[in-house]
A and B are shown apart, each in its own frame.
Chain A
Amino acid sequence: MIINLLKEKPVRVTKTEKIRRLNRMVLILAGVIFGILVLILLVQYGYYSSQSSSSKRRVKVLESEYLSRSIEVAKYKRMKSLYGYVGDVFQTRYPYTEMIESVYKLLPSGVVVTSVSFSEKGSMTFAAKMMGVMKYENFLEKVDKFNSDIGSLFGNVVQKLLSRSSSGEYRFELVLETKK
């Protein structure tokens, strides 16, 4: 009986120790995790709180400066809007002067412009009068030459009318279509 007891005791004690060690480990681990959680929370809380309060202080300072410059702010905002509007105005301009000027420059002396009108599609109807058909031919030659130049405004020139009055005055009407 004694022998049996002596044999059983170390086994039971070792087992008990293991359980105790396990209990301690569970408790320590739980404590460590808990501690880490609390620490993370505290550190984060401290960090963000200080950051938030310093940012809020800075916001107040900057806001008062911004409000004190309200006239400049209004001016700046108006300027930004105006840039957009002026840009739009520039972009939507129809090249009237370029179109009239480019044809006017080609007119031989003695040819008088009688009418000019424009269509929304980008064509210009141009009428003129002159004495003698030679001037008209001379003008057409110049238009042809001008059209073959790179960068010219017009792509297509269509003759609509050529008439001669009893006084010997010639009138012509051309439709000049801008390049697409």
Chain B
Amino acid sequence: MKKGNITSQMIDDKLLKETALSYVGVVFLIMIAVVFIWPHFSDMARIKDESQRAQKQVRDLEKSLSTLDKMEELISLENQDLLFKAVPENFEPGVILENLRVMSRQTGVVINDYSLSGGVLASEKNDSGVRKADGLSSSKVILKVAGATPGLIQFIKSIEKSVPVANVQDVVVSEVSKFMDETINDEVLNMSMVINYYYFPAQPPLLAEVMTDEISADNLEIMKKLAVYQKPIFQSSGTTGMSIGGGNENLFGE
């Protein structure tokens, strides 16, 4: 056999070597892919998830901040103040009674009797009244007034059209007994009622919670209704619920 000639034996050996190398190479690449690259794909899912979460946080925070920016645009400071007075942080019996007295004077009815339930004293800020599951509390004022029918109607209207907001319940109108005083006008009637006043104690803001709820059309509608409500004439001087009364009159205006 001459030098340089390729024999079939030589071809087979070389081919075998090449083939073996190819497959070893492929196996090597597969091993690298499985050992080094594949685990990074699961890492990738984590990074992707992290990135998506961060983006959502950005979106939520941007929305919250834009909501805050729009807050004063949609609801004026005056209306915000009115809303906070509509449902105060504490039950303020002094303020409520002073305002009832003013309303009774304006409508020509006389407050004969009242009793209160619940309330927060300055020294003990524990919960009282009827605490509802969602944080809103209510306190009842049981009131007995006397006056002519138009005055009594106006009195209920005044209560329902003024802040703090209240719900009138259990209205009963009855005749005034003339047993003691026969000079009492026929048109004067007694009216008893239960007035529910609401308060919502201040809660620490959960800053971790972003605000996704915007001021809705319903909210604006409520604000529109509240805007025409009579503001309280007497207001709380602080957190104690004491009123700033005028003169030496008592709660019955005497």
Interface string of B200-223 (1 = CB under 8 A from A): 101111110011010100110011
Interface string of A38-60 (1 = CB under 8 A from B): 10010011001101100110110
Given A12-B8, A69-B68, A79-B75: A117 touches B222 (CB 8 Å cut-off): no
Given A41-B44, A86-B86: A27 touches B153 (CB 8 Å cut-off): no
Partner of A117 from B30, B61, B172, B207 at Cβ < 8 Å: B172
Q: For the complex formed, measure the closest distance between the CB of B192 and the CB atoms of chain A, giving whole angstroms.
A: 10
User: What residue in chain A is nearest B216 (Cβ atoms)?
Assistant: A83
- The CB with the most chain B CB atoms within 10 A, among A31, A79, A82, is that of A82
Q: For the complex formed, measure the closest distance between the CB of A2 and the CB atoms of chain B, giving whole angstroms.
A: 12
- The tally of residues in A whose CB lies under 8 Å from a CB in B reads 66
Chain B, interface residues (CB within 8 Å), range: 35 or more
Partner of B218 from A24, A87, A97 at Cβ < 8 Å: A87
Cβ of A162 under 8 Å from chain B: no
Residues B71 and A80 in contact, CB atoms below 8 Å apart: no
Q: Which of chain A's residues have a CB closer than 8 A to the CB of B67?
A: 76
**Binding site secondary structure of chain A:** helix
Instruction: For the complex, give the distance between the alpha carbons of A34 and B156 in Å.
Output: 83
Instruction: For the complex, give the distance between the alpha carbons of A115 and B202 in Å.
Output: 42
Partner of A34 from B18, B32, B205, B210 at Cβ < 8 Å: B32
Cβ of B120 under 8 Å from chain A: no
Cβ of A180 under 8 Å from chain B: no
Given A41-B44, A80-B219: A86 touches B50 (CB 8 Å cut-off): no
User: What residue in chain B is nearest A127 (Cβ atoms)?
Assistant: B175
Partner of B207 from A27, A73, A93, A112 at Cβ < 8 Å: A73
Known contacts A19-B15, A24-B22, A70-B207; can you find 16 more A-B pairs with CB under 8 A?
A: A20-B18, A23-B23, A38-B37, A41-B40, A51-B51, A52-B47, A55-B57, A80-B213, A80-B215, A83-B219, A86-B83, A86-B87, A86-B222, A94-B171, A96-B171, A100-B152
Given A79-B80, A83-B83, A115-B174: A26 touches B23 (CB 8 Å cut-off): yes
Question: Considering the complex, which residues of chain B in the window 87-138 have a beta carbon less than 8 Å from any beta carbon of chain A?
Answer: 87, 135-136
A-B contact pairs, 21 of them (CB 8 A): A23-B23, A41-B44, A55-B51, A59-B57, A59-B58, A63-B61, A66-B64, A66-B207, A69-B65, A69-B68, A72-B68, A73-B211, A75-B80, A77-B206, A81-B200, A86-B83, A89-B166, A90-B165, A100-B153, A113-B189, A115-B174
Partner of B165 from A59, A70, A86, A115 at Cβ < 8 Å: A86
Q: Which of chain A's residues have a CB closer than 8 A to the CB of B168?
A: 93-94, 96
Q: Which of chain B's residues have a CB closer than 8 A to the CB of A34?
A: 29, 32-33, 37
Given A30-B30, A93-B167, A96-B156: A23 touches B19 (CB 8 Å cut-off): yes
Partner of A52 from B37, B51, B71 at Cβ < 8 Å: B51
User: What residue in chain A is nearest B154 (Cβ atoms)?
Assistant: A97
Number of CB contacts from chain A to chain B under 8 A: 196
Interface residues, chain A, CB within 8 Å of chain B?
8, 12-13, 16, 19-20, 23-24, 26-27, 30-31, 33-34, 37-38, 41, 44-45, 48-49, 51-52, 55-56, 58-59, 62-63, 65-67, 69-70, 72-83, 85-87, 89-90, 92-94, 96-97, 100-101, 104, 112-118
Residues A104 and B149 in contact, CB atoms below 8 Å apart: yes
Partner of A41 from B41, B153, B170 at Cβ < 8 Å: B41
Cβ of B169 under 8 Å from chain A: yes
Residues A49 and B47 in contact, CB atoms below 8 Å apart: yes
Residues B169 and A94 in contact, CB atoms below 8 Å apart: yes
Q: Which of chain A's residues have a CB closer than 8 A to the CB of B174?
A: 114-115
Q: Which of chain B's residues have a CB closer than 8 A to the CB of A70?
A: 205, 207
Q: Which of chain B's residues have a CB closer than 8 A to the CB of A67?
A: 207
Instruction: For the complex, give the distance between the alpha carbons of A8 and B150 in Å.
Output: 126
Instruction: For the complex, give the distance between the alpha carbons of A37 and B61 in Å.
Output: 36
Instruction: For the complex, give the distance between the alpha carbons of A82 and B172 in Å.
Output: 30
Instruction: For the complex, give the distance between the alpha carbons of A24 and B23 in Å.
Output: 10
Closest 4 CB pairs of A and B: A55-B54, A52-B51, A74-B205, A116-B173
